[in-house]
Amino acid sequence: MIDPIEDAKRSIDPVLDLWEAPEVSGDFDGRLYRRIEQDVPWWRKLAWSRVVPVAAAAGIVITAGLWLGRPGVSPSVPHTATVEALPPDQAEDALQEMRMIEEFNRLVRSDLPADRKM
C-alpha cells in the first residue's frame, strides 16, 4: 500500500526542482523593518509602553497594601468565663435547659458507655 503523504512528496519534488526563488534586493531588510513598524497598530505601541509601568505600579500598591494591612501579632488574651448573677427565676430556667441538653446528649450519644454519659 502506498502512503498518501509519500506519494504527495514525490509529485511535489519535481515541481520544486524547477522553481527558482527571486533574488532578494539590497534594501530588503530596511523595507521589511519599516513595514513591520508601520503594521503595528498605534494602540499596541501605546499599550506596551504603558502596560509595564502600570503593572509594576499596581504590583507595588498591592504588595504594600497587603504588607501594611495585614494584622500584626497581637498579644494573646486569655479567654476567661464571665459570671453574671441571675435572678432566681432565670437561674432555674437555665438549670432546666441544661438538664434538657444533658438528656438530649444521653439520647443522641447512646453508643457511649454509661459511665461516659453526662
- Please name the residue that has the C-alpha cell 509601568: 53
- pLDDT band at 2, cuts 50/70/90? confident
Q: What ranges do the domains of the chain cover?
A: 30-67
Angle, alpha carbons 8-9-11 (nearest 5°): 65
Q: What is the pLDDT of residues 71-118, one digit of tens each?
A: 555 556 566 767 777 788 888 888 889 899 888 888 887 665 655 544
CA distance 8 to 31: 36
- pLDDT band at 45, cuts 50/70/90? low
